[in-house]
Each structure stands twice: as C-alpha cells, then as structure tokens.
Amino acid sequence: MQESLDSRPLPGSAAAAIARAIVQLLHEYTGRGPTRARTHIDEDLVTVVLQDTLTMGERSLVRDGKIELVLAMRKAFQDTMASKMVAAVEEHTGRRVHAFLSANNVEPDTAVECFVLVPRNLEDGRAPMQELDSDA
C-alpha cells in the first residue's frame, strides 16, 4: 500500500520525536541522557547530534586520561542500543533504515548518530538511483 503525503510525519515533528527517543534510550542504557539533542532530516539521511552526553563516571575517566576506555564503553552502549535506535527512526520517519553509524567525541562532549534511509525509489519498487561512475 502506497503511503500518501498526508499520512507522512511532518519533518519537524519527526525530528523532535527522534531526538526525544534517542535521548530516552541513552538515559535508559547509561543512566544519564544528553542535555542537548538536535535531529536533522535531509532526504535519505537522519542525523542526531547530541551534546553533554558523558556520565559523571565517564568524565572522571576522561580527566584521568582514559579516553579510549570511555570511547570503547560508548561504542558498546551504541552497539547494544542500535536496534532500538533504528526502530525509533523507522517509526518516526515511516521509512526503513539501510545503515546506522555512530561516533563519539569527549572534547568537546559530542556524539552523532546517523541513519541512512533506504531511498524512496527502492522502497516503492521503482528503478534504483543511478550510481555515479568513479572513473568519470
């Protein structure tokens, strides 16, 4: 069944709902959610930028020079949460996620969650997008 334009979530409301869902998941998994989150939706890409994400314990580890340990822990959390993050993005966009990418930085305390959506022309059965020739 083809989805009408009227039944699709508005970009602003979808972006806010995705930001809330990601913040809630981080809070559930780490005991503390980021204090700032903003979702950007552009064509087939959803990007959530999170700031002030580290827990008090992680901040202590960073001060003691254990940045790699903090980044490894954050990667483990994101791997564990990936399916729920993907489900939230799919629910609020009405689109399937093709790929999920995640990265963290401790100075400044910023994280990015990126979701590459299946292109609409592949979801509705039309021919795939033309790929660019890398030799051109």
Q: List, for residues 62-111, the tens digit of each pLDDT value.
A: 999 999 999 999 999 999 999 999 999 999 999 999 999 999 999 999 99
Please report the pLDDT score of residue 132 as a whole number.
53
Decide if pLDDT at 126 tops 90.
no
Q: What is the DSSP letter of 107?
A: T
Please report the pLDDT score of residue 100 as a whole number.
97
Whole-prediction pTM value?
0.80
Domains of the chain: 10-119 (3.30.980)
Q: Are 15 and 73 in contact (CB under 8 A)?
A: no
DSSP, residue by residue, 17-61: HHHHHHHHHHHHHHS---SEEEEEEETTEEEEEEES---HHHHHH
